[in-house]
Structure 1
Amino acid sequence: MATELSRRPRIGDWADYAELERLQDARLGRTLAAAARSPFYRRRGTGVPAGRAELRQYDLTTKADLREAYPFGMLAVDRAELATYHESSGSSGAPTASYYTEGDWLDLVDRYARKHVRIGPADTFLVRTPYALMITGHLAHAAARACGATVVPADNRSLATPYAKVVRVLHDLDVTLTWSLPTDALLWAASAALAGLRPGRDFPALRALFVGGEPLSPARRARIAQVWDAPVVQEYGATETGSLAGECPFGNLHLWSDRAIFEVRDPRSGQLGPAGRGQLVVTPLYREAMPLLRYNIEDEVEVSYADCACGWVLPVVRVLGRSRFGARAGPVGLTQIGLEELVFGLPAEYGVMFWRARTRRDLLRIQIEVGGRHRAAAVRQLRGAVGAAYGIEAEIDPLPPGSLVPTESLIAAPDVMKPRSLFGDGENWDKALQYY
């Protein structure tokens, strides 16, 4: 593996953005040649671009294209060369396939392990994202093992690993690093508290929480770090691409522009450029099985080339989520990450960790879990924050803890058994062939 990875760039191999672009161009020819072997790109009447200038004029590859090419219409190698097959977690109902060779996996692992909090042999690494068709759990597992860490495969789609068991494992195994959705870190904290454990004090081995998979506002990130007394390290990527950005020591997400060419598309004008706010478009430079040319990931981002104190010569990205998941209250456009910033802007002592919101015509309704002692203050302050940020009235419903996230789900340890078909007298045979 070391020999293969030595052929890939390392942070610091380039001194400025002009040198970084030359590094991209040196790899782009192989990417375009791989695309020419893909049935999808061969079928395009325009052919495959010959270089960067033609690539800038090339039609975008969309999620709809990937769905139409299901399952192997994007394949650029013989199927015998594939190592893994995946599908994204998208909600359209139509599968979006992705596949990787062993060579692709070397690059995937290398990018994921680029975090400024390093993974090493002394670490016990809990993976709490799905071990399913999407890539996320498998990628973290492979990267942690490549770095010598002990992996605890906790999943988050399995009845066998409820929140109470995750908390027990975190505590008893002295877990040092975790990989999960940001929301999971708050659910563990609530579950730990119900078990009589203090998240910031009774887990002394925990040295960082790696998070990804959903937009994360600065306020929620700060709250998670405060609750666990450990740094929160962001990761950004997708099943179709693997890691696209990682966090530097100064808390900024940097796009891995030595491994991909990135553009930003303005959805209103359709214009693309290297920076600004819009949809992220990516051309991976190290894909063998499934080359992608100008793939529109459809995430809304903000990309900047401003200097960062870390010294990495890589663009900074803010991930804002999917624009189609926004909502309107009258004339005002709202996003989850914007409202999240206001909710987690409430004082930590109020204990607000779980919330939800709904818009109806010109009304915004927000529900929060908050104890009775701080209920009136939380309602008053959140209503004021929404008014100041958006100029609209909000209806705030304070709910007792356990209303949005049932207490039972945080403490339950269900008996998960293997399926069976033979039952004794008095046993419930309606559970035949089920795992629970």
Structure 2
Amino acid sequence: MPRAVSGRLPRIGDWTDFDSLAKVQESLLAGTLAAASASAFYRTRRDGVPADRAELAGYPLTSKADLRDAYPFGMLAVDRTRLATYHESSGSTGTPTASYYTGADWADLVDRYTRMRVGIKDTDTFLVRTPYALMLTGHVAHAAARACGATVVPADNRSLATPYAKVVRLLKDLDVTLTWSLPTDALVWAAAAAQAGLRPDRDFPALRALLVAGEPLSEARRDRIAAVWGVPVVQEYGASETGGLAGECPHGELHLWADRAIFEVYDPATGRITADGSGELVVTPLCREAMPLLRYHIGDRVEVSYRDCPCGWALPIVRVLGRFSAGAGLTQVGLEELVFRLPAEYGVLFWRARHTGSGLRVQIEVEVRHGPAAAGELTAAIGAAYGLDATVEAVPPGTLVPPGVLTAMPEVMKPRGLFTADEDWDRALRYY
């Protein structure tokens, strides 16, 4: 397993500028290329394995299709007895992408996660609300919190055992101090708290920060979530195939962990690849032994810059725009920014939009008395930003996120074989 400084993982402060950061990358790259040569995928690739950074710069991209074709262990670079965990993507497009990590890989995953700017303390109660099943995100947060001595509440968001109403109860009754979730979840919890007669900014005094990842997040939506809960919202960015790739500094900028990976920006329209600018992210992890990846094309649309930041970390700054674009320069982050710039008193938390080709249809949940004003203001903002004819519909609260979703407490049972006459035995072998 490559290490840059005295046999340990790089730490912020080991470099002082972007030139010395490049030297940290160089110190790790040889080990990364050696690990890739042990991978069946790279060893048998027509181009072989690059010998150095100059050759890496011209090496073909590794795609998600490559990972799917290599399922399950075609990317493996160590003996399977050395693996600590196996993970998969959701597989929503068919064959999933597999990823796997050794114990040494896990040391790197945990170390990167604990760089969260708010810190994780042994006095924290940390509610983990991202998936556990096969995906990486919940397990990394869980392991990092335990490594810091925190108490973990494993509230997996793929389980009927922890509906939104129960999450609100846990947040309050357990004095949860930190949470890890999708940004959208934080808004749904706020709505569920309101249904329970609670105010997020008043009735959860132990909460000190909301840690979020897993979907694009505009500054306007982050500000709205922070205002609703009265605590900072701290963003992280990563993928199951790579682990965490970026985190926030004390000044709120999202920095790529370029001491642990080489990042590039790919323009699919021209095929041009640069170190910064706008395009799709390409990453070469530098501390990965089980599944080395060379120039892995994640596909997320990003903006990367190497400008100085007051934090002094000397790490590139990234803005993550997501993968979906509906034409006319329209992205989820861009549209979301306009939605959450609406005045807070309108109470807009939930929205959806559909690009029809000739225009845009948008629905926003908004209090009835503010509906006309909200619809008019958003229509004008979309026209000014994108030159699109938008039809904005103001729908009453509960239309997009029904109250039953916020208050439901489904019955959870284990498989059983024996039932009484008044029980539903069709659920005998179900576990939910």
Q: TM-score range by the shorter chain?
A: over 0.9
1:220 counterpart = 2:216 = no
Change over 3 Å in CA distance of 1:217–1:40 after alignment to 2: same
1:232 counterpart = 2:233 = yes
Instruction: State the 1:273 CA deviation.
Output: 1.0
- Between the aligned partners of 1:144 and 1:189, the Cα distance in structure 2 is 24
Instruction: State the 1:5 CA deviation.
Output: 10
SS of 2:120's equivalent in the other structure is: coil
TM-score with structure 2 setting the length? 0.97
- Give the alignment partner of residue 408 of structure 1, picking from 386, 404, 413: 404
- Between the aligned partners of 1:372 and 1:227, the Cα distance in structure 2 is 20
- Between the aligned partners of 2:182 and 2:197, the Cα distance in structure 1 is 23
- Partner in structure 2 of residue 88 of structure 1: 89
- Give the alignment partner of residue 396 of structure 1, picking from 392, 400, 406: 392
Instruction: State the 1:6 CA deviation.
Output: 6.6
Kept in 2, the 8 Å contact 1:5–1:107? The answer is: no
- Between the aligned partners of 1:5 and 1:122, the Cα distance in structure 2 is 31
Once the two structures are superposed, the pairs formed by residues 380-391 of structure 1 within 5 Å of their partners are 380-391=376-387
What code does the residue aligned with 2:429 have?
Answer: L
- Between the aligned partners of 2:146 and 2:234, the Cα distance in structure 1 is 19
- Partner in structure 1 of residue 326 of structure 2: 327
- Partner in structure 2 of residue 276 of structure 1: 277
- Partner in structure 2 of residue 297 of structure 1: 298
- Give the alignment partner of residue 424 of structure 1, picking from 407, 420, 424: 420
- Between the aligned partners of 1:361 and 1:244, the Cα distance in structure 2 is 34
- Between the aligned partners of 2:378 and 2:42, the Cα distance in structure 1 is 51
Question: In the TM superposition, what whole-angstrom CA distance separates every residue of 1:341-400 from its partner, at most 9, and x where no partner exists?
Answer: 111111011100011111223121101111111111111111111111112221111111
- Partner in structure 2 of residue 192 of structure 1: 193
Question: In the TM superposition, what whole-angstrom CA distance separates every residue of 1:391-415 from its partner, at most 9, and x where no partner exists?
Answer: 2221111111111001001011111
SS of 1:74's equivalent in the other structure is: coil
- Partner in structure 1 of residue 19 of structure 2: 18
Question: In the TM superposition, what whole-angstrom CA distance separates every residue of 1:130-154 from its partner, at most 9, and x where no partner exists?
Answer: 1111100000000000011000000
Q: Aligned pairs, how many?
A: 429
- Between the aligned partners of 1:151 and 1:201, the Cα distance in structure 2 is 23
Alignment identity in percent?
71
1:317 counterpart = 2:318 = yes
Unaligned segments of structure 1, at least 5 residues: none
What code does the residue aligned with 2:173 have?
Answer: D
Once the two structures are superposed, the pairs formed by residues 35-434 of structure 1 within 5 Å of their partners are 35-322=36-323, 325-328=324-327, 332-434=328-430
SS of 1:233's equivalent in the other structure is: strand
- Between the aligned partners of 1:359 and 1:281, the Cα distance in structure 2 is 28
- Between the aligned partners of 1:175 and 1:6, the Cα distance in structure 2 is 37
SS of 1:327's equivalent in the other structure is: coil
- Between the aligned partners of 1:60 and 1:363, the Cα distance in structure 2 is 35
Provide the aligned C-alpha RMSD in A: 1.3
Kept in 1, the 8 Å contact 2:136–2:243? The answer is: yes
- Between the aligned partners of 1:122 and 1:337, the Cα distance in structure 2 is 35
Instruction: State the 1:426 CA deviation.
Output: 2.9
SS of 2:401's equivalent in the other structure is: coil
What code does the residue aligned with 1:154 have?
Answer: A
- Between the aligned partners of 1:377 and 1:298, the Cα distance in structure 2 is 37
Question: In the TM superposition, what whole-angstrom CA distance separates every residue of 1:283-325 from its partner, at most 9, and x where no partner exists?
Answer: 1010010000110111110000011111110000000000xx2
Instruction: State the 1:90 CA deviation.
Output: 4.9
SS of 2:235's equivalent in the other structure is: strand
Kept in 1, the 8 Å contact 2:264–2:275? The answer is: yes
Kept in 1, the 8 Å contact 2:16–2:313? The answer is: no
SS of 2:304's equivalent in the other structure is: strand
Instruction: State the 1:89 CA deviation.
Output: 2.8
Instruction: State the 1:114 CA deviation.
Output: 0.5
